[in-house]
């Protein structure tokens, strides 16, 4: 363990010395030393489960270290809780949202602030509008959180920090569900904050973003600092190998294919909504063929959630729409019948819809895998349930003690790997997945992409809905975009460009006319 002199400590805004945190069966942080200067942007890199989020939670006062010391602005400090951290000038944007669904944007932001700053809600609402518009993340203060898309909820988390007088901003996977345009806006904001003296700690698996944004990078492996670098002076490949080692492939090109027969057919689907902030789906038509991946891009809040609900059976279509498998009309069927017909589904919210936080991994595997020989005459069969769970954990390298772990005990990336594995290992005839690699490290993303391609090559019809354009271009055979409830043209991936898909995401569907669709008016 390094010992810092008083001059050392005074030179830095934050100094961590020998930070250690042990969980049952897992040494999350193992004698970590870390130093943060004012006005500098630091990346914290590592595989899922490497200890990144635990370390950030210790700095923010959510988790108490078992040993080690924290120096804040030259003074040894015990950060007792998040309120204490915020009073010191530390703000954090979590990977999993810490929002109350039944409250408004304004009320959620007020709850995260000191009482004096939240007394005048009218003034706070005006400040939210001002700050969110200034940084290109427009929010409506009176809008209930349960009506927001995943990307819009992320905006609430970021703006909640930006309106406070912070000296250190911790961002845990903040761009996971942001579009490239939103990421550019965020980075402009972060550079501005750094220029004003704010220190920033940035956790991300997107190494291109790290290279573009960060001044320094520290790499964690198995809870220990394993290396450091200046991202602007390193290649993406070298940074990836620092994270996952030389034995793990860090890039892959997949051959594009032409699918077989039509399998999933979505015909003239319209979906109205009673939610005043919801998006109406308008005459959605597309086909997913056997043995292909169709990718749908889009900015958060343009109908992705509504389309996913329509496809999964959570929402009932208006009379005109049809959702068809080759031999079955599923339009009026619920999720159970659709799964029985061979549909698997990865929702966009892994802790709300994809898994039950307080249930074990085995029980979460059973939730959607019950057709895989785990139930007989209404009775649960423990051995097949345990075997299915062990298979997921082993095949997708889910870091956990065993299948009895609660879902909420896993890191975000490991839970994502579990959910993806649970659906793919059922060998579905049709897989619908939202943000399949959200929050996973580069090695796991490669593994998930490879599994999706293997499933495709076995004849499965796959639909991917994602805001990660790079991911869609990597694995999709055909692509389109959703804008305000309407679908763009569909093209083979090889015949389009990132620029064209970006225009589709903005509602410009015609190359000849370059005008926005009627939904803008």
Tens digit of pLDDT for each residue in 295-343? 999 877 788 889 999 999 988 887 778 999 987 899 989 999 999 999 9
Q: Report whether pLDDT(521) > 50.
A: no
Q: Residue 335 in contact with residue 309, Cβ under 8 Å?
A: no
Q: How far is CA 203 from CA 33, 41, 283, 407, 495, in A?
A: 17, 11, 40, 22, 34
Beta strands in 405-477 (DSSP E): 430-434, 461-465
Is there a shared CATH topology between the 6-244 domain and the 262-354+429-520 domain?
yes
**Residues above pLDDT 70, as percent of the chain:** 92
Q: Is the pLDDT of residue 460 over 70?
A: yes
Phi, psi for 26 (deg, rounded to 5): -150, 120
pLDDT at 113: 80
Residue range 465-477: average pLDDT? 90
Q: Is 275's pLDDT higher than 60?
A: yes
Residues 287-293, mean pLDDT to the nearest whole number: 97
Over residues 63-81, the pLDDT tens digits come to 999 999 999 999 999 999 9
Question: Which DSSP category does 460 fall into?
Answer: -
Average model confidence (pLDDT) across the chain? 87
Tokens standing for 186?
A: 């965020």
244 by Cβ neighbours in 10 Å (0-12 / 13-18 / 19+) ranks as: buried
Per-residue pLDDT at 401 exceeds 80 = yes
Q: What is the pLDDT of residue 26?
A: 81
What would you measure as the largest C-alpha separation in the chain, in angstroms? 74
User: Is 50 exceeded by the pLDDT of residue 24?
Assistant: yes
Lowest mean pLDDT, pick from 12-16, 196-200, 430-434, 510-514: 510-514
What pLDDT sits at residue 287?
A: 97
Domain boundaries along the sequence of the chain: 6-244, 262-354+429-520
The residues, ordered by sequence, that sit 6+ positions from 387 with a Cβ below 8 Å of its Cβ are none
Confidence of residue 386 (pLDDT cuts 50, 70, 90): very high
Architecture (CATH level 2) of domain 6-244: 3-Layer(aba) Sandwich (3.40)
Determine contact, residues 261/295, Cβ cutoff 8 Å.
Answer: no
Could you tell me the two tokens for 418?
């579990």
**Residue 94's pLDDT band (cuts 50, 70, 90):** confident
Provide the Cα torsion 474, 476, 477, 483; round to 10°.
-130
Is the model more confident about 10 or about 204? 204
Contact 79, 59 (CB under 8 A): yes
Q: pLDDT per residue over 100-116, tens digit each?
A: 888 999 999 998 787 77
Q: Residue 93 has what DSSP assignment?
A: E
Of 134-143, 284-293, 395-404, the range with the lowest mean pLDDT is 134-143
Average pLDDT over every residue of 453-474: 93
pLDDT category at 515 given cuts 50, 70, 90 is very low
Please report which confidence band the pLDDT of residue 170 belongs to, taking 50, 70 and 90 as the band edges.
very high
pLDDT band at 150 (very low <50, low <70, confident <90, very high): low
> What confidence tier does 247 reach under pLDDT thresholds 50, 70, 90?
low
In contact, 439 and 176? CB cutoff 8 Å: yes
Nearest to 366 by CA among 430, 426, 434: 426
Tokens representing 395? 């095949």
CB-based contacts of 48, cutoff 8 Å, min separation 6: 399, 411, 412, 413, 414, 417, 439, 440, 441, 444
∠ Cα 414 418 421 (to 5°): 135
**Is 236's pLDDT higher than 70?**
yes
pTM of the entire structure?
0.73
For residues 213-225, give the mean pLDDT: 92
pLDDT of residue 82 exceeding 60, the answer is yes
Confidence class for position 158, pLDDT limits 50, 70, 90: confident
More confident residue, 256 or 238: 256
Instruction: Name which of 27-31, 75-79, 244-248 the model is least confident about.
Output: 244-248
**What is residue 358's predicted lDDT score, i.e. its pLDDT?**
93
Confidence of residue 246 (pLDDT cuts 50, 70, 90): low
Residue 243 has pLDDT above 90, yes or no: no
241 vs 358, higher pLDDT: 358
What is the C-alpha R_g of the chain? 23
Class of domain 262-354+429-520: alpha beta
Q: Provide the pLDDT for residue 518.
A: 40
pLDDT at 250: 57
Least confident range from 124-133, 244-253, 346-355, 357-366: namely 244-253
| Contact indicator for 418, 361 with CB cutoff of 8 Å | yes
> With 90 as the cut, is the pLDDT of residue 207 above it?
no
């Amino acid at each position: 363990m390094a010992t810092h002199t008083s001059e050392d400590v005074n030179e830095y805004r934050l100094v961590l010395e020998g930070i250690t945190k042990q969980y049952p069966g897992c040494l999350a942080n193992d004698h970590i030393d870390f130093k943060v200067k004012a006005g500098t942007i630091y990346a914290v890199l590592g595989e899922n489960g490497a200890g990144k989020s635990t370390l950030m939670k210790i700095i923010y006062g959510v988790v108490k270290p078992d040993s080690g010391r924290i120096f804040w602005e030259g003074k040894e400090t015990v950060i007792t809780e998040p309120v204490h951290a915020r009073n010191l000038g530390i703000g954090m944007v979590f990977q999993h949202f810490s929002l109350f669904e039944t409250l408004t944007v304004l009320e959620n932001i007020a709850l995260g602030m000191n009482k004096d700053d939240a007394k005048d809600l009218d003034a706070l609402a005006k400040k939210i509008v001002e700050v969110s518009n200034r940084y290109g993340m427009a929010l409506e203060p009176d809008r209930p959180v349960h009506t927001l898309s995943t990307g819009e909820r992320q905006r609430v988390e970021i703006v909640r920090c930006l309106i406070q007088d912070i000296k250190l901003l911790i961002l845990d996977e903040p761009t996971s569900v942001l579009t490239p345009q939103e990421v550019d806006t965020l980075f402009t904001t972060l550079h501005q904050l750094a220029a004003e003296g704010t220190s920033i700690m940035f956790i991300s698996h997107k190494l291109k973003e790290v290279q573009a944004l960060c001044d320094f990078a520290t790499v964690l492996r198995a809870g220990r600092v394993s290396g450091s670098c200046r991202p602007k002076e390193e290649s993406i490949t070298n940074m990836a190998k620092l994270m996952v080692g030389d034995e793990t492939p860090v890039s892959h090109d997949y051959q594009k294919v032409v699918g077989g027969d039509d399998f999933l057919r979505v015909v003239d689907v319209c979906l109205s909504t009673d939610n005043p902030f919801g998006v109406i789906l308008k005459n959605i038509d597309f086909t997913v063929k056997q043995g292909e991946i169709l990718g749908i891009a889009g900015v958060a809040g343009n109908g992705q959630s509504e389309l996913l609900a329509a496809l999964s059976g959570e929402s009932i279509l208006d009379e005109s729409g049809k959702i068809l498998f080759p031999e079955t009309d599923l339009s009026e069927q619920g999720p159970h019948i659709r799964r029985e017909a061979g549909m698997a589904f990865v929702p966009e919210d892994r802790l709300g819809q994809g898994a039950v936080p307080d249930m074990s991994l085995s029980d979460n595997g059973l939730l959607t895998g019950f057709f895989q020989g785990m139930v007989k005459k209404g009775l649960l069969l423990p051995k097949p349930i345990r075997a299915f769970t062990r298979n997921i954990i082993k095949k997708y390298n889910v870091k956990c003690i065993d299948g009895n772990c609660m879902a909420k005990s896993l890191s975000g990336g490991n839970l994502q790997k579990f959910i993806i594995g649970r659906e793919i290992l059922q060998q579905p005839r049709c897989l619908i997945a939202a943000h399949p690699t959200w929050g996973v490290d580069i090695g796991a993303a490669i593994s998930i992409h490879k599994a999706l391609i293997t499933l495709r090559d076995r004849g499965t019809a796959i639909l991917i809905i994602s805001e990660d354009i790079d991911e869609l271009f990597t694995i999709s055979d055909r692509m389109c975009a959703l804008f305000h409830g309407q679908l763009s043209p569909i093209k083979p991936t090889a015949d389009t460009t990132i620029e064209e898909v970006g225009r589709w995401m903005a509602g410009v569907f015609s190359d000849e006319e370059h005008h926005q669709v009627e939904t803008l008016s």
